[in-house]
Amino acid sequence: AQSVTQLGSHVSVSEGALVLLRCNYSSSVPPYLFWYVQYPNQGLQLLLKYTTGATLVKGINGFEAEFKKSETSFHLTKPSAHMSDAAEYFCAVTPNSGGYQKVTFGIGTKLQVIP
Amino acid sequence: EAQVTQNPRYLITVTGKKLTVTCSQNMNHEYMSWYRQDPGLGLRQIYYSMNVEVTDKGDVPEGYKVSRKEKRNFPLILESPSPNQTSLYFCASRQGRGTGELFFGEGSRLTVL
């Protein structure tokens, strides 16, 4: 069975500082990996995803994530935080296999950006 | 505009009073799913549907029903709501395989007294 662990349910950074949100997965076969963002009072929207190919994935709003198979990680980064980045971020995985591909979400990390 | 529409967005009801949360998507997606979001628990899947007339249980299906009579609609039914079903509910859809992006509705906040 697959699972996702997000370290840190709350992360605070200063405006302009590096954003690092951690995600580790557990799966017998490297899964497909996603990061979603949820702004207040809104649904989730896709930030970026890794399926195959280049392990460094760039997403919207300056975010990127790197798939590291040896570390079973898919951490999300942004070089310089902006006030508008304050939101909740969810890492998600889905099996890289045939048949029904269930999406499993982490518990989420709330990012606070301090002026 | 591609979207997933949920209604109602907010609802306060009482224990035992049947309610339905509607979900409609205009992207001709095969796959639809319902999630509930609770603090500290992330998103948990309630039910999903791979296509018309094909539905299956997710991780937390107790107390819920769904139906998929048309491709665009996937209503969530609470036959006899209880306070532990107070939560934020999301409907989502995607086209086919798991590599695809999930498109989410804006959420329905349900309070059961």
Give B97 or B85, the one with higher predicted confidence. Answer: B85
Average pLDDT over residues A34-48: 94
Judging contacts by C-beta atoms under 8 Å, the chain B residues touching residue A98 are none
Q: Please report, rounded to a whole number, the percentage of residues in chain A having pLDDT higher than 90.
A: 72
**How would residue B10 be classed by pLDDT, with cut points 50, 70 and 90?**
very high
Q: Please report, rounded to a whole number, the percentage of residues in chain B having pLDDT higher than 90.
A: 88
CA A104 to chain centre: 12
Q: Please report, rounded to a whole number, the percentage of residues in chain A having pLDDT higher than 70.
A: 97
Cβ–Cβ below 8 Å for B98 and A94: yes
Cβ–Cβ below 8 Å for A107 and B101: no
Judging contacts by C-beta atoms under 8 Å, the chain A residues touching residue B29 are none
Give B8 or B97, the one with higher predicted confidence. Answer: B8
Average pLDDT over residues B48-74: 95
- DSSP strands (E only) in chain B: 4-7, 10-13, 19-25, 31-38, 42-51, 54-57, 65-66, 76-78, 87-94, 103-104, 108-112
Please check the confidence at residue B111 and state whether its pLDDT lies above 80: yes
| pLDDT given for residue A101 in this prediction | 72
Average pLDDT over residues B92-111: 89
